[in-house]
């Protein structure tokens, strides 16, 4: 069964590439071009689902986005769903984001740019499988 992923990146090509690679692996993906659109997409699906499960299996967030940045988007999503799995994608040097309290949560991860798309798909699939096994 495919996963449902929400990806937010202001680089149109990055969004396009996520879409291509996840759809190739039979996953469903929603792409948002900025932070605000991302929160809206999340809320929309949350309202439609009418279930206790998280609306998306994984939310992929770029740090730097117009209108709302990644950290703010993550905060808003975690307020709605405290156990939503979130993966941050960072192009910053190491260290700068260490002190953000949000990374203390188990469900929040960070990966550094650049990385291969297959690596990302594998990582998400593996962590999901692991979670289901528990």
Partner 1 sequence: MENRKTSTSLRIGISVSMIIMMLGLALFLNAFTTYEITNQMKILSDLNMPVGQGITRAYVIQQMQQNSFEDAITYQKLDSQKNYELSKIQFESYNNEWNYEVKKIKNLADTFPNYDLDNDTARDLGIMSTNLNEIESTHLQYTQKASQIFDAYDNGQTNDLTPIVTAVKAQQNQISLKTILLDDEVQKLTDSLNAGVEESKQKSFTLQMIIITSTGIMSLALGYFLNLINKDLVQEVIKKTRSLQKANRKLERMNVLKDDFINIASHELKSPLHPIYGFVELARNGDIGSEEALAGISKQARQLEEVANRILDVSRIDNGILHLSYEKFSLSDLLIEITSSYRFNLDEKIKIETALEKGIDIEADRVRIGQVIRNLLNNALKFTEKGNIKVIMQYNMQKNFVEVTISDNGHGIHPDILPNLFNKFITKGPKAESWNGNGLGLYLSREIINVHGGHIFAYNNKDVGATFKFTIPIMKHLNAKELHQKMMN
- Whole-number minimum distance, CB 90 to partner 1, in Å? 8
- Whole-number minimum distance, CB 125 to partner 1, in Å? 16
Note the residues at the interface with partner 1 (CB under 8 A): 11, 13-14, 16-17, 20-21, 24, 63-64, 66-69, 71-72, 91-93, 96-97, 100, 113-118
What is the C-alpha to C-alpha distance for residues 89 and 62, in angstroms, rounded to an integer? 5
Reduced 3-state DSSP string for the chain: CCCEEEEECCCHHHHHHHHHHHHHCCCEEEEECCHHHHHHHHHHHHHHHCCCCCCCCEEEEECCCCCCCHHHHHHHHHHHCCCCCEEEEECCCCCCCCCCHHHHCCCEEEEECCCCHHHHHHHHHHHHHHHHHC
- Whole-number minimum distance, CB 42 to partner 1, in Å? 17
Minimum CB distance to partner 1 smaller for 104 or for 133: 104
- Whole-number minimum distance, CB 5 to partner 1, in Å? 15
Minimum CB distance to partner 1 smaller for 13 or for 133: 13
Minimum CB distance to partner 1 smaller for 45 or for 102: 102
Minimum CB distance to partner 1 smaller for 20 or for 131: 20
């Amino acid at each position: 069964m495919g996963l449902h992923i929400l990806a937010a990146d202001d680089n149109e090509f990055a969004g396009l590439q996520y879409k291509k690679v996840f759809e190739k692996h039979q996953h469903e993906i929603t792409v948002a071009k900025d932070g605000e659109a991302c929160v809206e997409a999340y809320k929309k699906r949350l309202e439609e689902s009418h279930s206790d499960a998280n609306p998306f299996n994984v939310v992929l967030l770029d740090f730097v986005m117009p209108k709302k940045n990644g950290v703010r988007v993550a905060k808003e999503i975690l307020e709605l769903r405290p156990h939503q799995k979130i993966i941050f994608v960072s192009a910053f040097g190491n260290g700068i984001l260490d002190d953000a309290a949000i990374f203390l949560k188990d469900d929040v991860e960070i990966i550094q740019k650049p990385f291969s798309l297959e690596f990302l798909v594998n990582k998400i699939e593996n962590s999901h499988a692991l979670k289901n096994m528990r």
